A and B are shown apart, each in its own frame.
Chain A
Amino acid sequence: AQSVAQPEDQVNVAEGNPLTVKCTYSVSGNPYLFWYVQYPNRGLQFLLKYITGDNLVKGSYGFEAEFNKSQTSFHLKKPSALVSDSALYFCAVRDMYGAGGFKTIFGAGTRLFVKA
Chain B
Amino acid sequence: GQNIDQPTEMTATEGAIVQINCTYQTSGFNGLFWYQQHAGEAPTFLSYNVLDGLEEKGRFSSFLSRSKGYSYLLLKELQMKDSASYLCAVMDSNYQLIWGAGTKLIIKP
- Do A and B interact with each other, yes or no? no
Seen from chain B, the residues whose Cβ lies within 8 Å of a Cβ on chain A are none
Seen from chain A, the residues whose Cβ lies within 8 Å of a Cβ on chain B are none
